A and B are shown apart, each in its own frame.
Chain A
Amino acid sequence: MSEQTEVVTQPEPAPEQRDRTVEQSSRWQQAMRDIVGGSAMISVLAVLLALIAGGILIAVTDARVQQTAGYFFARPGDMLAAIWNAVSKAYLALFRGSIYNFARDDVGSALTSLTDTLVFATPLIAAGLGVGLGFRAGLFNIGGRGQMIMAAAAAGWVGFSFNLPPVIHVIVAVAAGLIAGGIWGGIVGLLKAKTGAHEVIVTIMLNFVALYFLMYMLRTPGLLQAPGGNTPKTPPMEPTAIFPPLFPGHNVHWGFLTAIAATVYVWWLLNRSSMGFQFRAVGINPNAARTAGMSVSSVYIWTMTISGALCGLAGVNQVLGTVTSGFSSGIDAGIGFDAITVALLGRSRPWGIFAAGLLFGAFKAGGFTMQAAAQVPVDIVLVVQSLIVLFIAAPPLVRAIFRLPTPGTAPRRRVRASDRRAEKGAAA
């Protein structure tokens, strides 16, 4: 057991990392880096494992399977057929709801599923990029919810109360949302840089501040509450402020293009800009970065600001794209937290997060069909998502199941094998 723990927290550095900058950072930072920076293979296999585990759960919770299990030995075929039925129906529904609905008559409406996936993926990608950017600078932004809420409130307010020409209205609303999210994230960076407050605590607390602030605004006429009603809900957005649809007849809207743009921006920021280089340097080792003359506190502030703005983009997409008929306090829909999963699955790489966001968008879109068509409890989809996180967070488990080599130990294994052979030879 202790050996296993050892493997999780302190794997042997890969040969190219032998300069051992690692030793200066704490065990937890190391563990964190392992979790957020695992190999692509681990991500794929984690999804696969989670789908298998999900299949088992679907089978176990299926009423017909339970019924036929009662007489398994008398007629085993019944139960096996029931299992196959339940699982294949559920995953077929997932496919139908998320990619191509072959139950529809024409190709256009069959592809509605795919465009729905894009709709649900959009905020996940944006917020995932925000969280992932934080990871790269060594910051754990759990405040996606608060940043989304503040951005949604700002963008929503601009969206329903301003009277602007079509294109300008959208741009102003988006900008308001990004600024609000950026400020909400920036506060965290500022507090961490100036006072050393831990970002996890601060972001969690600011989530509550944002939530209750939104509730207050929704209850107060003149702020966000729809006039004439008594309900904590905003009026619908002005048509000029709504993201126009990308294709007629489909739900996917221009917000998806903002998610693509955000992905390109984060890729450029991290891989091509000197600011991103500083982010990464601080993420790998803040002490070394400081010694190299970088301002760690300004990196913290900027990372959290940009991370907050990206989560804000997710909130903007919710109010200007997904739910345009006015929103209430549940507008974040848990995306601030799902984004952590997306960032982990995407290994904090911009395009990885993009792909992970699409996958989770597909889970979400397909989840509705799984529920409606296959009567699978919607919780199963959540369990599958949670299992993905679990498997990603435990790379040694995935490696053990699929017999993958531990990074950095591949040569040692060969050595061990040859040692054994040598030993055998010596014994003989």
Chain B
Amino acid sequence: MRNSMRRFAIGGAAAIGTSVLVLTGCAAPPETDGNGNGNGETSNPDFIPCMVSDTGGFDDKSFNQLGYEGLTEAAQEIGATPNTVQSNAETDYASNISNLVDQGCNLIVTVGFLLAEATVAGAEANPDVEFTIIDDFADLNGDGKPDSDNIKPIVFDTAQAAFLAGYAAASYSKTGVVGTYGGIAIPPVTIFMDGFVQGVEYYNAQKGTSVRALGWDVAAQNGSFTGGFEAGIESKSLAQSLIDQNADVILPVGGPIFTSAVEAIRDSGKDIAMIGVDADLYETYPEGKDLFLTSILKGMKVGVHDVVIQASKGEFDSTPFVGTLDNDGVGIAPFHDFESKVDSKLADELDQVRKGIIDGSIEVTSPSSPKQ
């Protein structure tokens, strides 16, 4: 009896397989293999740009993904084929880097501060390969410059942009309570929270209000964290607890954890706004676009893109790229749907604050800011 079942199962699988082929396999074959994208002057098909993700993976709707997009777009422009690998654990970084070196990569972009040790080790072992690390200064020995001449750090003073977002949040809040929480308490995350809370405090000082910012204590460098960069119940319950404390603007910092905050807000049925991080989430996460007051932008895509193009022309240098408000490496997104709901003077005020930060009259201090 089991025999006949097996025959039936195999027969069924074969039938399904054949029908799939019949249904899909009738198109005409391509005439020749036209192989030649990449346009004119910047083209350098022999150049191999490569990238190693951190454990978030390239589909994290956040900084791995932005870096990946920057890499693939630049590769398309120069007609090169990029090679990208994902890491599943912190023990994977070194192996991934050495395998990419074996594949003949010319430029290896490592995404994230957690890859610093592996990047420095890889750069020192392979002096003829160029390395770029996002979100870290690659300065392990603490002498103020990258540990190896073939590493170019791409870092961002995100606190400046987060300051603007904090100011906007304080201005928008009707309950007088705003909140934030993060994935893991690492500098690229807490720098957002530093700027955000200071922005709220600055608003209070200017307007004589007393908007409270929950979830992060700048002085103690201590706050609420989910413990990981995955969406899930931890993130949802942290968002929930902020909602319960009457917060009406929430800033979740850390890859995809914001999606759980969206859920928590929808569940609560209250009128609560969110602030996105890294990319303009109004554009990249349309499912929740009605919730985003603004987003804190980090120019990773542009940064990676430019480094790849430069390196492909043989113009790689190890001068760090520091994204600031001044060079538009960081910024905040438009209010989109909230345009009509925010104070009409807010845009002008933010412009003033922005100028103040750039000329140094307004101080944004974060221990996580890149030293320049």
Q: Give the interface of A toward B (CB within 8 A).
A: 3-4, 69-75, 78-79, 97, 101, 103-104, 116, 120, 211-212, 215, 219, 228, 230-232, 318, 322-323, 325-331, 333-334, 365, 368-369, 371-373, 375, 377-378, 382, 400-401
Contact = CB atoms under 8 A, between A and B. Distances in A.
B190 A378 contact: no
Given A219-B185, A330-B89, A372-B83, A70 B24 contact: yes
B29 A78 contact: yes
Q: Which of A79, A97, A330, A331 has the most CB of B within 10 A?
A: A330
B90 A71 contact: no
A212 B83 contact: no
A298 B148 CA distance: 56
Interface in B39-88: 55, 83, 85-86, 88
Chain A to chain B: the 8 pairs with minimum beta-carbon distance, closest first: A72-B25, A333-B89, A372-B99, A71-B29, A325-B117, A70-B27, A371-B85, A368-B95
Given A3-B1, A101-B102, 17 more contacts: A69-B21, A71-B27, A74-B27, A79-B25, A211-B227, A219-B185, A230-B190, A323-B91, A326-B117, A331-B91, A333-B89, A365-B95, A368-B85, A369-B99, A372-B99, A377-B86, A378-B85
Given A215-B227, A372-B100, A372-B103, A333 B83 contact: no
A74 B86 contact: no
Contacts of B99: 97, 368-369, 371-373
Contacts of B95: 116, 365, 368
Contacts of B30: 71
A213 B367 CA distance: 24
A212 B185 CA distance: 13
A318 B21 contact: no
Given A78-B29, A101-B102, A215-B227, A372 B96 contact: yes
Most chain A CB inside 10 Å of its own CB: which residue of B27, B91, B184, B367? B91
Given A69-B24, A71-B25, A368-B99, A378 B86 contact: yes
B25 A373 contact: no
Contacts of A72: 21, 24-25
A326 B99 CA distance: 22
Given A101-B102, A371-B96, A327 B90 contact: yes
Contacts, number: 105
Given A232-B186, A372-B83, A71 B91 contact: no
Contacts of A230: 187, 190, 221, 367-368
Contacts of B117: 325-326
B371 interface: no
Contacts of B90: 323, 327-328, 330-331, 333
A371 B86 contact: yes
Interface string B111-146: 001100100010000000000000000000010000
B61 to A, nearest CB: 18
B92 interface: yes
Contacts of B6: 400-401
Contacts of B341: none
A328 B99 CA distance: 23
B2 interface: yes
A334 B89 contact: yes
B25 A69 contact: yes
Residue in A318, A325, A375 whose Cβ sees the most chain B Cβ within 10 Å: A325
B205 interface: no
B219 interface: no
A143 B72 CA distance: 41
Nearest to B186: A231
Contacts of A365: 95
Contact of B114 (A101, A228, A328, A382): A328
A378 B184 contact: no
B187 A231 contact: yes
Contacts of A369: 99, 102
Contacts of A328: 90, 114
B9 to A, nearest CB: 9
A386 to B, nearest CB: 13
Nearest to A101: B102
29 contacts: A70-B25, A71-B25, A71-B26, A71-B30, A73-B21, A74-B28, A78-B29, A79-B25, A101-B102, A116-B95, A230-B368, A231-B113, A325-B117, A325-B121, A327-B90, A328-B90, A330-B55, A333-B89, A334-B89, A368-B96, A369-B102, A371-B86, A371-B96, A372-B99, A372-B102, A378-B85, A378-B86, A378-B88, A400-B6
